[in-house]
């Protein structure tokens, strides 16, 4: 019987450790996306017992999604057109039609104008 209790205790301890690591990793990755500091929220989410820490984090976090600036890498709100840290243009627009374009595109899908790497229209001769 003693061996069985030891195995059960070991399995439960392992599951508890996996839970704490999982919650910690989730909050560590998720907090910056919502404009929150990682450290305090990881501690709150993992150290408050009975899932209450995770529930508190999920209720309190800012639901505004954030993304990184393509130029400087800072975390900023998705809707920003210009990076507030370094004034980089975040959204590239076609010079011909003004449609928002992806930096990797070589042609504007709206007006078929050729684009260079910066999203500016290339002079065609």
Average pLDDT, stretch 22-28? 95
Name the DSSP class of 119.
S
Asked if pLDDT for residue 103 goes beyond 90, the answer is no
Note whether 107 and 121 are within 8 A (CB). Answer: no
The mean predicted confidence, pLDDT, of the chain is 82
For residue 43, the model assigns a pLDDT of 93
Name the residue ranges covered by the structural domains of the chain. Answer: 2-62, 92-125
For residue 122, the model assigns a pLDDT of 43
Asked if pLDDT for residue 9 goes beyond 50, the answer is yes
Average pLDDT, stretch 53-78? 80
Q: How confident is the model at residue 74 (pLDDT cuts 50, 70, 90)?
A: confident
Between CA 89 and CA 17 the distance in angstroms is 44
H/E element, 21: helix 2-30
Between CA 101 and CA 98 the distance in angstroms is 9
The answer to which of 22-26, 51-55, 68-72, 93-97 has the lowest mean pLDDT is 68-72
Asked if pLDDT for residue 23 goes beyond 90, the answer is yes
For residue 124, the model assigns a pLDDT of 41
SS (H, E, C) 37-99: CHHHHHHHHHHCCCCHHHHHHHHHCCCCCEEECCCCCCEEECCCCECCCCCCECCEECCCCCC
% of the chain exceeding 70 in pLDDT: 88
For residue 121, the model assigns a pLDDT of 42
């Amino acid at each position: 019987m003693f061996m069985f209790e030891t195995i059960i205790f070991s399995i439960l301890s392992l599951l508890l450790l996996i839970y704490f690591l999982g919650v910690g990793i989730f909050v560590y990755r998720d907090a910056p996306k919502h404009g929150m500091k990682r450290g305090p929220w990881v501690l709150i989410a993992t150290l408050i017992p009975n899932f209450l820490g995770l529930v508190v984090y999920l209720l309190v976090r800012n639901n505004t999604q954030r993304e990184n600036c393509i130029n400087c890498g800072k975390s900023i709100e998705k809707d920003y057109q210009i990076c507030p840290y370094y004034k980089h243009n975040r959204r590239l627009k076609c010079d011909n039609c003004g449609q928002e374009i992806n930096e990797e595109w070589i042609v504007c899908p709206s007006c078929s104008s050729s684009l260079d790497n910066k999203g500016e229209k290339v002079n065609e001769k």
